[in-house]
Amino acid sequence: MLGWAILIFLPRRYDLLFAIPQYIIPLGLGLLYAGLMFTHFYTVDGGYGSLDEVRALFSKDEVLLAGWVHYLAFDLFIGAWIARQSDAIGIPRLIQAVLLLATFMFGPVGLAAFLLMRAGYRKTGTQS
C-alpha cells in the first residue's frame, strides 16, 4: 500500500521518493516471489499447461502466496510506469488516481484504460 500511496498522493519530482514504488518495492516483492517459488514450486503437482494444472499448482498456500506477490510486484511496477507516462503527456493527477486505483485493484483493466487514454491524448494533440 505504501507504494500506491506514494504514486497517488506524493510529488514525483523527487527521484529517490519515486524509486520506492517504481523499483524498491517491486524488487523486494520479486525477491520474495523468487524465494517462495524456488522453495515450493517443485513440492506440488501442477504447472502452467492447462487450467487444471494451474489449479493444482496453487493448491499449496505458499505457491498461492507467491502468485499473489507476483501480481503485487507487477501491478505496482506498471502503476509507476503509468504515473511516469501520465505525467509526461499531461494527464491530470485526479485522473491518474483513478487509473492507478484501477491498476491496483484490477491490473490489466487499469493498464488498458491508460493505454486507451494515452492514445486519445496523442490523437487529439493535447500531449505536452
Residues present in the chain in total: 128
pLDDT for the residue 87? 93
What is the DSSP secondary structure assignment for residue 112, as one 8-state letter?
H
Query: Global pTM?
Result: 0.85
C-beta separation of 111 from 103 below 8 A? yes
Give the integer Cα–Cα distance in Å for 109 and 99.
9
The whole-angstrom separation of Cα 77 and Cα 71 is 10
Q: What pLDDT is recorded for position 45?
A: 86
pLDDT along the chain (128 residues), means of 10: 93 89 96 95 87 92 95 96 94 95 96 93 56
Q: Where are the chain's structural domains?
A: 15-124
pLDDT at 128: 47
